[in-house]
Amino acid sequence: MCLGIPGKIIAITDAGSLMGMAEISGVRREVSLAPVAVGPLEALIGQWALIHVGFAMAIIDADEAAKTLQALADLGEAQETLDQLAAAERALA
pTM exceeds cut of 0.85: no
Q: Show the 3-state SS of the chain.
A: CCCCEEEEEEEEEEHHHCEEEEEECCEEEEEECHHHCCCCHHHHCCCEEEEECCEEEEEECHHHHHHHHHHHHHHCHHHHHHHHHHHHHHHHC
CATH of domain 5-92: 2.30.30.140
pLDDT in tens, the chain (93 residues): 567 899 999 999 999 999 999 999 899 999 999 999 999 999 999 999 999 999 999 999 999 999 988 888 787 766 777 788 888 888 887
Q: Please name the residues in contact with 22: beta carbons below 8 A apart, sequence gap of 6 or more.
A: 7, 8, 9, 10, 28, 29, 30, 31, 49, 51, 56
